[in-house]
Amino acid sequence: MPATLELQRIVYCSQAARPDLALPLLAEVLAVSDRNNRRDGLTGVLLISRGRFFQVLEGAAQNLDRTMNRIRLDPRHHDVELVSRRPIRSRRFGEWAMVAARITPQQQPQIDAVIDHCRDAPEAAVDAARALLDQQIAA
């Protein structure tokens, strides 16, 4: 398979420019991401807590590069830090072009933990994000 078509997963975290606008901003970002990511064959999850974003994106390397280039330039956040990029055999978030976990008071500590461990344990953070969504599906 050519490298550009290889399925990869990337994980990054960043700092929201305006933490006070977190929820309306998230809705807008999700709508555009859903549209673009469907077009580009990307799937993933976006979490936000205490003014920090955590995002997982999966898809063909070339489409990940193009999307990350746009995301990096977005003034709605800064300090975009890519913490993991690796080839994958299968998607973990294949059901969603982009999904956000609903933030309930019960889940707030879990979301905080995913974001806090983004840098030192990105793969564990991916697992925790998936577990969070599974809990929401089951609820």
Ligand X SMILES: Cc1cc2nc3c(=O)[nH]c(=O)nc-3n(C[C@H](O)[C@H](O)[C@H](O)COP(=O)(O)O)c2cc1C
Binding residues for ligand X (CB under 6 A)? 29, 32-33, 36-37, 46, 53, 55, 57, 67, 70-71, 74, 76-77, 98
Nearer to ligand X (CB atom), residue 80 or residue 113:
80
CB 20 within 8 A of CB 14: no
CB-CB neighbours of 84 under 10 Å: 17
Distance (Å, rounded) from C-alpha 78 to C-alpha 123?
A: 22
What would the DSSP string read from start to end of 10-47? EEEEEEES-GGGHHHHHHHHHHHHHHHHHHHT-EEEEE
Nearer to ligand X (CB atom), residue 35 or residue 86:
35
Nearer to ligand X (CB atom), residue 96 or residue 132:
96
Distance (Å, rounded) from C-alpha 88 to C-alpha 70?
A: 23
Q: What is the largest CA-CA distance in the chain?
A: 45
Nearer to ligand X (CB atom), residue 26 or residue 138:
26
CB of 74 to ligand X, least distance (A): 3
